[in-house]
Amino acid sequence: MNHAEILEHRAAAHIRARNRPVGAAVGRVTDDHLAASPVRLYQADSTTPSAAKVVFLHGGYFVLGNVDLQDSVCRQIAHDLDLDVVSVDYPLAPEHDAETTVATVVNVCRDLLPSRGPLIIWGDSAGGAVAVLTAVALLQEGARAPSLVLTNPNLDLSLQLYDDDAPSGPGKALLEAGIAAWANGCVETVNALALDVSGLDAVVVSVGAEDALVEEARAFTARGTPNWTLLVHPKVGHGFASGQSLGDVAAMERTIRTLRQFRHG
Q: What is the CATH number of the domain that holds 37?
A: 3.40.50.1820
At 117 the pLDDT is 76
pLDDT at 155: 97
Residue numbers in the chain where pLDDT is lower than 70: 47-49, 115-116, 263-265
SS3 assignment, position 18? helix
Report which DSSP code applies to 144: P
Residue 97 C-alpha from the chain's centroid: 17
Q: What pLDDT, on the 0 to 100 scale, is given for residue 136?
A: 97
**Which of the 8 DSSP states describes residue 189?**
G
**Within 10 Å of residue 247's Cβ, how many Cβ atoms?**
17
Distance CA 148, CA 206 (A): 11
Q: Domain residues for 60? A: 3-264
Distance CA 239, CA 118 (A): 27
**pTM, two decimal places:** 0.95
| Dist CA 31 CA 46 (whole Å) | 20
Q: For residue 246, what are the CA distances in angstroms to 125, 194, 241, 252?
A: 20, 35, 12, 10
Calpha distance 204→74 (Å, rounded): 17
Nearest to 77 by CA among 57, 107, 103, 97: 57
pLDDT of residue 265: 55
- For the chain, how many structural domains are there in total? 1
> What pLDDT does residue 4 have?
85
